Amino acid sequence: MIRVGITLPARDLTAVENILYEIAPSNWVITMDKETRVLTLSGLFLSKGDSLRGISNLKEYYDGFLSDFRIEEIDNQFWENSYRHHFKPWNYKNYKFIPLWDKDKIKANNRETPIYIDPGMAFGTGEHETTRLCIEFLIDKFELPELTRDSFLDVGCGSGILSILAKSLGFKNVLGIDHDENAISNSIINTNLNLEKNSVIFKKTKINLLEKNTYKCIVANIQSDVLISNAKTLITMLEHSACLIISGILNYESEDVIKVYNQCLDTTDYTFKHELKQKGEWSTICYSIND
């Protein structure tokens, strides 16, 4: 594991915070020493090559001070203990999300469906507001047994948590995609912890490279700019009666995203309505689509 760090001047805090919001989820965090009040921008990466690419990506957004990063190799145990500290079991309705290391200590009751997750280096444990909002919308929409559940697409699958949930909700065909090889590997591992092997398909690919199939439900938990640029593509992949959940949107970006999706849907024969939920700085939008 590689840890990268740089002292962050206070004058640059707002600019860097805005960048991290824009590229979230990412490997980067800002911390402050309680005694000295010194700010540090740091990131954890699997390899030195990954860390250099991470630094290069940051510099594309802001090169005002980003030089002289400290790069050091750390024990993998540090990362494991770090994410174990932050990832705690939680519930939503009849679903209980449990970190793998608590599997023997924490049990779901007879009314609960447990989903076990080992996040590894992937995003999407359910702790982040964007993932949790997707989970809440997905359960709210599809917990009723009479609803049809033919096919599901998870765009930006991360740890695989949403794909696993979709299969647990009864979707017959579930596909998760991500551009990150680590996410695909981790999604497969987590699926095998919860479901029969190969019950969910995961592919390393991008939205615009997908085969033009249609889906009863699409969940896309990615950046707002990617959501906007792929709005038409996502909408054309919806069945005539479907659900579209889009997330990874900062609150101040939600109006622009809704405007783009409404405009795209207005060009179709669909009737639609949307619902907006917010947690902290983040927004998630759920579209209900009908003929």
pLDDT digits (tens, 9 = 90+) for 255-265: 999 999 999 99
pLDDT in tens, 195-248: 999 899 999 998 988 888 999 999 999 888 899 999 999 999 999 899 999 999
pLDDT of residue 124: 56
Q: Is 125 a residue whose pLDDT tops 70?
A: no
- Record the pTM: 0.78
Domains in the chain: ranges and CATH: 2-78 (3.30.70), 126-290 (3.40.50.150)
pLDDT of residue 281: 86
pLDDT of residue 12: 84
Task: Bin 154: left if φ > 0, else alpha if -120 < ψ < 50, else beta.
Answer: beta
pLDDT of residue 80: 61
Q: Is 23 a residue whose pLDDT tops 80?
A: no
CB atoms within 10 A of CB 47: 11
Which of residues 238 and 16 earns the better pLDDT score? 238
pLDDT in tens, 159-207: 899 999 999 999 999 999 998 888 899 899 999 999 999 899 999 998 9
pLDDT band at 277 (very low <50, low <70, confident <90, very high): very high
Please state, for a pLDDT cut of 70, what percent of the chain lies above it. Answer: 90
pLDDT of residue 203: 95
> Quick one: how far is CA 242 from the chain centroid?
21
| Cis bond upstream, residue 114 (ω within 30) | no
pLDDT band at 56 (very low <50, low <70, confident <90, very high): confident
